[in-house]
Amino acid sequence: MSPSSPYKRVLLKLSGESFAPSGQRGISMQEVVDISTQVQRAARTGVEIAIVIGGGNILRGAQFIAGNSSIHEATAHYMGMLATVINGLALQDALESLDCQTRLMTAIRMDGVAEPFIRRRARRHLEKGRIVILAAGTGAPYVTTDTAAAQKAMEIEADIVMKATRVDGVFTADPEKDASATLFHRLTYKEVRDRNLRVMDPTAIAHCMEHDLPILVFNYRVDGNIERAVRGEDVGTLVTSHATAKR
Ligand code: UDP
């Protein structure tokens, strides 16, 4: 454990949108390198970092479902999972260009492109100080990479799930649409559920709640915030079983 952090191992969830300029789709390597630079600084703290990467900048299964019966819903989700692998490859190269040791592991076997996700092997990589990028979600359709983040965090025994977003944390309303929205600093899982707050998808929340796995939602667009989050500094919204829980 890093002397300056309460965490030994964290699971960072990066959405696909963090790989594209605001409002755009696809991959901008400038954005990928910018976020990788933050990850590199966070990794230097000595905290072990696994990253679950989303695919929404390329495609989400849901966009193919409505009005397009020629693609089966499950197929659409598999396409979404493959999109996360494309992002994983971009992230791996960006991190390695910054001299980070990485491993890309996929939940759908893709020999020749990445290692298969094997729990013990992933943990071993982390222990050796490698940044482990987890792509292809859970390997199963009908869920999102939020659920994959919660599941993988439990499997690798991460201390916390850190969801990087483009807003400062969890608000009373969508801060990009409602100027009167206020930020929560602490929440309980129950409050998130009862108030139907947008933190992660409901399956992910249920997993975290059942396993008492804290969730931090924070803004990756503030430079240095990934390192601050990993160091346990007071950024974003922390969701735990007791709202008074210390960071
Ligand atoms: N997906 C899936 N199973 C998983 C993870 C993801 O079917 O375990 C599909 C789903 O269609 C999802 C897409 O992959 O919409 C891309 O992931 P996500 O939408 O979570 O990406 P993000 O919003 O984080 O960029």
Reading the chain (247 residues) residue by residue, the pLDDT tens digits are 566 799 999 999 999 999 999 889 999 999 999 999 999 999 999 999 999 999 999 999 888 877 656 899 999 999 999 999 999 999 999 999 999 999 999 999 999 999 999 999 999 999 999 999 999 999 999 999 999 999 999 999 999 999 999 999 999 998 888 999 999 999 999 999 999 998 999 999 999 999 999 999 999 999 999 999 999 999 999 999 986 655 5
By alpha-carbon position, which residue is closest to atom 13 of ligand 1?
80
pLDDT score, position 43? 98
The answer to whether 134 and 84 have CB atoms below 8 angstroms apart is: no
* Half-sphere exposure at residue 108, Cβ-oriented, CA atoms within 13 angstroms: 17
From the CB of residue 194, how many other CB atoms can be counted at a distance below 10 Å? Answer: 9
Please list the alpha-helical segments (H only) found in 47-144: 61-65, 73-97, 119-127
Structural domains of the chain in order of their starting residue, each with its CATH number: 9-240 (3.40.1160.10)
pTM confidence score: 0.96
What's the CA-to-centroid distance between 84 and ligand 1, angstroms? 7
Q: For the segment 141-188, what is each residue's pLDDT rounded down to a tens digit?
A: 999 999 999 999 999 999 999 999 999 999 999 888 899 999 999 999
User: Which atom of ligand 1 is least distant from the CA of 147?
Assistant: 8
The answer to whether 218 and 168 have CB atoms below 8 angstroms apart is: yes
From the CB of residue 180, how many other CB atoms can be counted at a distance below 10 Å? Answer: 8
> If you ran DSSP here, which 8-state letter would residue 169 be given?
S
Please indicate whether residue 15, judged by its CB atom, sits closer than 6 Å to ligand 1.
yes
The answer to whether 237 and 214 have CB atoms below 8 angstroms apart is: no
- Contacts of residue 202, Cβ cutoff 8 Å, sequence gap at least 6: 193
Beta strands in 2-56 (DSSP E): 9-14, 48-53
User: Which atom of ligand 1 is least distant from the CA of 139?
Assistant: 8
pLDDT score, position 148? 98
What's the CA-to-centroid distance between 192 and ligand 1, angstroms? 21
Cα distances (Å, whole numbers) of residue 181 to 170, 174, 175, 177, 226: 10, 7, 5, 9, 24
Please indicate whether residue 207, judged by its CB atom, sits closer than 6 Å to ligand 1.
no
The answer to whether 5 and 47 have CB atoms below 8 angstroms apart is: yes
User: Which atom of ligand 1 is least distant from the CA of 107?
Assistant: 8
What's the CA-to-centroid distance between 46 and ligand 1, angstroms? 29
